Structure 1
Amino acid sequence: MDKKNKILLITICALFFIAGFFVTKNIVDKKNKEQFMKKEMINDNSKMVIKQMDDKVVFSEYIKDKYDAKEVFKKDGKKIAFLTFDDGPSYLSNDILDILKKYNIKATFFVVGNLAKENKSIIERQIKEGHSIGNHTYTHNYKNIYSSVDVFVNEVDKTQNVIKSIVGSNYDIKLVRFPGGSFGDRLNPYKEAIKKKGYYNMDWNALNGDAEGNNIPKEKLIQNIKSTIEGKNHVVILMHDCAAKKTTVEALPDIIEYLISQGYEFKALK
């Protein structure tokens, strides 16, 4: 082979090598970009949650398996337990979420607006794992919230706006739980006012009794559940996930096991 042909051959080989390098690089770059985007979608929970709840189709899928609160006390022969947690979120909310995840149970969290604002990541996790978020006023300050109907409604609206700011503008579960409950006639004007604004008030018919104090022995909490669900098919169970209720977390697995043993299924509310 003469020198000229040899140089030509080397040049052709070099061109093939360079072309192969760039093709391979493009494939690798594309794969890395796809993996990066996938990782970002998984890790950036906040943006994912907000994007999902800003999508009406996704929201309609999210609420599909939720139970209509207006139907809770209608008799259908089924045994259903609605686990509800008030006064959070707090650091204990994550412990409760871990337990619920273990049992594949969905619950409803009635959140205090100012605490939700401070603990956005917990609200995002609750939504991501399929739970419902309800409204428990913005301050939970009895003296303030029950000073007038207008003040109460403003607190509820403010909390709803906080929830939407975290999980997305199309989040339209408008459940409200009155601090202390709305039993009796005294709060009828308050109930009428929120009803006119499209909210639905949700009390309870069973409880673990953790509102009676802090560090109540878990055995007592479990016994309270047993006694207050007796003879009831649909049970809306009041519990709390505020920072002082450590024994509620300790008792929760036993409470769930007992409810399962009694034939209850579990639903979140909408």
Structure 2
Amino acid sequence: MKTSKALLIGVFSMTLLNATAAEQKIRTPFLDGWDQIPLAEMEKKAADFAGAYWIAGPGQRKQMALTFDDGPTEHTRELLKVLKKHNIHATFFWLGKQAEQFPNIVKEAAAAGHTIGNHSYDHPYSSKLSASVFNSSQIVPTQKIFQSILGFAPTLFRPPYGDLSDAEMALLQKNNMHAISWSVDTRDWLVAWNKGQPAEIEKVVLNYAHPEAIVLMHDGGGPRQSTIAAVDAFIPKLKEQGYEFITVDKLLGVAGKQ
């Protein structure tokens, strides 16, 4: 039996795609004793909701998305200065209650070209809520807050702690939103807890950097001077390795606002 040229090209293209597709896998190890969601649960969610729940980008481009959670806060403006210094854009997953407190910072970040994402209203474990309560108390109010401040609502949602039920994931899909996890947890939250040094955060990023990584950091929820200093230090080193820094929506090729 002869195999058509078109079929051969199709098979080759699919093989190439599979060979270059990024694995939806969290690279940094699990830490016991911190009430974290098991990594396998997040990875399963990415498999079950492929194209809607993301841990990393879809390919192997030498690009990276830096993300910051829990703001905006009094630390955010200093972080924005560092990002401007290095001429890069990041993605901020912010809480509705914080956006209400610092609306001008929200406007400044968006005007500077950064992407704004929804991180819930007040940071609950989402799966402990019913899907309807999750929507009415966390998603909808926060979307309305960003709409009132920016004139648009985000399409990207990061579940606090990475915790999200299947029903809540389906609800996000219905609302044309993407769930964004991370492939690299810098543990800047643990460094802040332990009053550690910026070099600890920098070391994690450099050790676990990979093409199309989504990197988790924070500009809220605690003291963030070490995070800001680490960002200032590791960006030039990763640029020297050939990395380009882009926002999550550009990494995934999706709209960042609706």
Compared CA separation, residues 213 and 262, structure 1 to 2 (3 A): same
Equivalent in the alignment of 2:129: 147
Residue correspondences, number: 194
Task: Identify which of 205, 212, 223 aligns with 1:225.
Answer: 205
User: Which has the larger Rg?
Assistant: 1
Q: TM-score, normalised by structure 2?
A: 0.70
Deviation string, structure 1 residues 95-121 (Cα, Å, up to 9, x no partner): 100001111101110000000011001
Task: Identify which of 209, 214, 225 aligns with 2:187.
Answer: 209
Compared CA separation, residues 70 and 221, structure 1 to 2 (3 A): closer
Give yes or no for the alignment of 1:194 onto 2:172.
Answer: yes
In 1, the alpha carbon distance for the partners of 2:217 and 2:54 equals 20
Do the aligned residues in 2 keep the contact of 1:145 with 1:151 (CA within 8 Å)?
no
Equivalent in the alignment of 2:80: 97
Equivalent in the alignment of 1:34: none
Shift of 1:246: 1.8
Do the aligned residues in 2 keep the contact of 1:207 with 1:228 (CA within 8 Å)?
no
Task: Identify which of 159, 178, 197 aligns with 2:142.
Answer: 159
- Pairs within 5 Å for 1:240-259: 240-242=218-220, 243-259=222-238
- Structure 1 residue runs of 5 or longer lacking an equivalent are 1-67
In 1, the alpha carbon distance for the partners of 2:80 and 2:177 equals 26
Deviation string, structure 1 residues 55-103 (Cα, Å, up to 9, x no partner): xxxxxxxxxxxxx99796222x420010100000001100100001111
Tell me which amino acid in the other structure corresponds to 2:70: D
Tell me which amino acid in the other structure corresponds to 1:178: P
Deviation string, structure 1 residues 151-191 (Cα, Å, up to 9, x no partner): 211211110110010011xx253100000114xxx722221
Tell me which amino acid in the other structure corresponds to 1:92: H
In 2, the alpha carbon distance for the partners of 1:145 and 1:153 equals 12
Equivalent in the alignment of 1:175: 156
Equivalent in the alignment of 2:58: 74
In 1, the alpha carbon distance for the partners of 2:186 and 2:94 equals 18
- Structure 2 residue runs of 5 or longer lacking an equivalent are 1-51, 250-255
Compared CA separation, residues 90 and 145, structure 1 to 2 (3 A): farther
Do the aligned residues in 1 keep the contact of 2:185 with 2:217 (CA within 8 Å)?
yes
Equivalent in the alignment of 2:244: 265
Compared CA separation, residues 69 and 97, structure 1 to 2 (3 A): farther
In 1, the alpha carbon distance for the partners of 2:91 and 2:58 equals 19
What is the percentage of aligned positions where both structures have the same residue?
30
Shift of 1:206: 1.1
In 2, the alpha carbon distance for the partners of 1:146 and 1:213 equals 27
